[in-house]
Structure 1
Amino acid sequence: MTTDISPSVRRARASILALAGDAVVVLVFAAMGRGFHGEANPVLGVLATAWPFGVGLIVAWATPLVRRRPLAVWPAGLLVWLATYAVGMLLRGLTGQGLAGPFLVVALTVLGVALLGWRAIALLVRRVAGRS
């Protein structure tokens, strides 16, 4: 027995999953970075690293463009990536967290691959599932 799901429910479900996926990416990115530093409380260290990028994520998700098609690599994924990175780095700079050159490059690359990559995989899975 199958039930048809309304487009608005499908869109809401996709948005929730996409936002959760983006949040996981930011937390994993921060955890990986903190893994290279010894600290007394690793959870607080991860949150301290993640919060500027989390704010960037919220900024991106505040735009209708991202909410309208949250799983799209273009333009939603690109906007999420660039806003997360730019706002995150701006806040890191303003709060004295450091902006070392290698970190700027690594963060741009890792966030881009992860935030765009999981969307590309999700779309591929949806297409394959839709054909069967």
Structure 2
Amino acid sequence: MPSATPPLPRPAATPSAPARAARRTAVLAACADAALILVFAAIGRDAHQRGDIVIGVFSTAWPFLVGAALSWLALRLWRTPLALWPAGVGVWLGTVAIGMLLRAVTGQTVVLPFVIVALLSLGFLLLGYRLLAAAVRRFNTRRRGA
């Protein structure tokens, strides 16, 4: 009587080209969000001429970076990371709301003028590149179709 051997496990399927492209787009969009939040913090630090440039930028940016990360997770933004709605608006408002909440909880400054500047600046940055990406996609689609 032959011994019963369990079947060998199948190797994990490699992701298709569209799946790899979607994953790459999500990673790049998340990195762009983080980089633009750091730009926002760096511009703010520079405008107020504070010392400790690198550490200062990260101390200003961390609440907003946490807000962006939580927004990405809560809204599952990796599904449509470059969409203006809900991804762009969700990460923008989540970044500002959670960022300001964390700043308040940790004793950092939260005053109305700063909230307004953060809303406007992060809106311009986080929505702006998504609008630009949509315009480039539209242009490339028309060019291929012509």
Structure 2 Cα separation of the partners of residues 56 and 105 of structure 1: 17
1:101 aligns with 2:112: yes
Q: Which runs of 5+ in 1 are unaligned?
A: none
- Corresponding residue SS for 1:11: helix
Retained in 1: the 8 A contact 2:75–2:90?
Answer: no
SS at match of 1:31: helix
**TM-score, normalization by structure 2:** 0.83
Q: Which sections of structure 2, spanning at least 5 residues, go unmatched?
A: 1-15
Residue 47 of structure 2: SS of its match in structure 1?
Answer: coil
Corresponding residue for residue 75 of structure 1: 86
Superposed CA offset, 1:80-121 (max 9, x none)? 001100110000000111111110101011111111111010
- Structure of greater relative contact order (alpha carbons < 8 Å, 6+ residues apart): 1
Corresponding residue for 1:18? 29
Equivalent of 1:27, from 29, 35, 38? 38
Q: 2:141 is matched with which residue?
A: 130
Determine which structure has more spread, i.e. the larger CA radius of gyration: 2
Q: Which amino acid aligns with 1:125?
A: V
1:30-75: CA deviations, max 9, x gaps? 0010002333321111000000000001101113541110000011
Question: In structure 2, what is the equivalent of residue 89 of structure 1?
Answer: 100
Instruction: Indicate the residue corresponding to 1:54 in structure 2.
Output: 65
Contact 1:65–1:75 (CA under 8 A) maintained in structure 2? no
Q: What is the letter of the counterpart of residue 73 of structure 1?
A: L
The whole-number CA distance in structure 1 between the counterparts of 2:51 and 2:127 is 33
1:63 aligned to which of 53, 63, 74 = 74
> Is structure 2 residue 112 aligned with structure 1 residue 114?
no
Q: Give the aligned partner of residue 5 of structure 2.
A: none
Percent identity, aligned pairs only, is 48
Moved more, 61-70 or 19-28: 61-70
Q: Give the TM-score normalised by the residue count of structure 1.
A: 0.91
More moved, 118-127 vs 55-64: 55-64
